[in-house]
Amino acid sequence: MARMKFLCDADRCIECNACVTACKNENEVPWGINRRRVVTLNDGKPGERSVSMACMHCTDAPCAAVCPVNCIYTTADAVVLHNKDLCIGCGYCFYACPFGAPQYPKVGNFGSRGKMDKCTYCAGGPEADGSKEEFEKYGANRLAEGKLPLCAEMCSTKALLAGDSDIIAQIYKERVKTRGYGSGAWGWQTAYHESIAT
């Protein structure tokens, strides 16, 4: 099985936010929730870089480890998914996540946050692949159709890569070698305890 990851080549990202829009449209993400967002560092200054960030589908995922009801699980493709029927909306995954991925449809007063929502790597949830229930709760299941997440698939500069870890790391290494610079695989050290040597 493949080890699915995201890799954002910050030297290519032009902060167009197409990945954000694609994600919202493909998954019909609830109002107020951003499963993916683009963060700009040093905005307007020398050394500006933009990074498209979503759930990184961590190795030894912190959200899954701290969930009091054990509703978060890792699939055979190393995608981190969750079961909204079991989620109690306690907020622990959201405290543990290094990437701010888990979000809640309600504001959170008096602990009524609603069911957690986050990026599913366009891989749906525990319901039958491609079912209506799955789509309503989690959005598209492109992975089951043999397709990669739409955010990466439609990235205009091919900054955002999705796919097997070894393959996307190889692509990134070649890019860095060819152009002579690269700011690194953002979030990899925190998410996977490894980086890409370039």
Partner 1 sequence: MAKLIAAIRFIVGALALAFMVATVTPVPVSAQGGPTAATSEQQLMQQLKGGVIRGDVTIPDKKAANLIHPAGRNWQTFNTVTMKWIGGIAILGMVALLVIFYLWRGTMKIEGGRSGRTIVRFNGFERFVHWLTASTFIVLGITGLNITFGRVLLLPWMGPEAFSTWSEWAKYTHNYLSFAFTIGVVLVFLIWIGQNFPTAADIEWLKAGGGMGKGGGHAPAWKFNAGQKLLYWFIVLGGAAMIISGYMLMFPFYYGMGIGDMELAEVFHGVVGVLFIALILAHIYLGTFGMEGAFEAMSEGTVDLNWAKEHHPLWVEEEMGSKGAGSARTQPAE
Applying CB under 8 A, which residues contact partner 1? 10, 15, 17, 20, 32, 34, 37-47, 49, 51, 53, 62, 65-71, 83, 85-92, 94-100, 108-112, 182-190, 195
Nearer to partner 1, 17 or 145 (CB): 17
Q: Minimum distance between the CB of residue 177 and partner 1, rounded to whole angstroms?
A: 16
Rounded to the nearest 5°, which phi and psi values hold at 103?
A: -140, 165
Neighbouring C-beta atoms of residue 97, cutoff 10 Å? 19
Listed in sequence order, the residues at least 6 apart from 167 whose beta carbon sits closer than 8 Å to its beta carbon are none
Q: Minimum distance between the CB of residue 1 and partner 1, rounded to whole angstroms?
A: 24
Give which of 150, 141, 148, 94 is closest to 117, Cα–Cα. 94
Nearer to partner 1, 110 or 178 (CB): 110
Nearer to partner 1, 118 or 142 (CB): 118
d(CA 75, CA 53): 21
Q: Minimum distance between the CB of residue 34 and partner 1, rounded to whole angstroms?
A: 6
Q: Minimum distance between the CB of residue 92 and partner 1, rounded to whole angstroms?
A: 7
Nearer to partner 1, 121 or 188 (CB): 188
d(CA 38, CA 16): 8
In the DSSP assignment, the letter for residue 29 is P
